[in-house]
Amino acid sequence: MAVIGYDPLSIIQIQDSGSASIASGANSAPMTVGGTTTIFNNNSQQCYVANGVITFTFATAPVAGTVLELHAQTSMDGTTWTDLDQSIGYLTGVTCRAITTLQTEPLTFILYPVQYKFWLYNATGQTVSAGWTLSILPSKNQAV
């Protein structure tokens, strides 16, 4: 019997520091790098899981334990995308601390063989400051 391990790809920057602020109860725009919408094509990559790191700050501290949610619009062919709506496309969330200094939080989520446009929903009660970032490390399974 083979043991299954992870075969990570390269780290992919999904959102650079050019991000806009996100009001409480609002969605971010689809994430961009250099002003271009980031599309992760997992049709060709065939990854099963992604680990990531998100960095963010608040001008006014949120209540500890409130959440930033990572969502995605998905497409089978890159032309027809699901709606940008917080009731669908939930991948994972990060619990925020009641601080105004930089927060760096890990993420882990399952991937399916579709194309992704990632975005955030802010459920913290405070505005996320501009300049937040997200990077992911998608991984395939491999026999080891």
Query: pLDDT tens digits for 63-119?
Result: 999 999 999 999 999 889 988 877 789 999 999 999 999 999 999 999 999 999 999
How many Cβ atoms are within 10 Å of 53's Cβ, its own excluded? 15
Q: What is the pLDDT of residue 2?
A: 66
* pLDDT greater than 70 at residue 19: yes
Rounded distance, CA 71 to CA 86, Å? Answer: 7
Rounded mean pLDDT, 40-66: 93
Domain CATH code at residue 99: 2.60.120.260
State the residue range of the domain holding 112.
4-143
* pLDDT greater than 90 at residue 143: no
Q: What is the pLDDT of residue 138?
A: 92
Tell which wins on pLDDT, 54 or 35: 54
Q: What is the pLDDT of residue 4?
A: 65
Please identify which residue in the block is written with the tokens 């669908």.
88
| Number of domains comprising the chain | 1
Close Cβ partners of 21 (under 8 Å, ≥ 6 residues apart): 127, 128, 129, 130
Q: What is the pLDDT of residue 58?
A: 97
| Backbone torsions φ then ψ of 126, nearest 5 degrees | -135, 160
Q: What is the pLDDT of residue 78?
A: 87
Rounded mean pLDDT, 5-31: 88
Q: What is the pLDDT of residue 1?
A: 60
pTM for the model stands at: 0.89
Rounded mean pLDDT, 38-62: 93
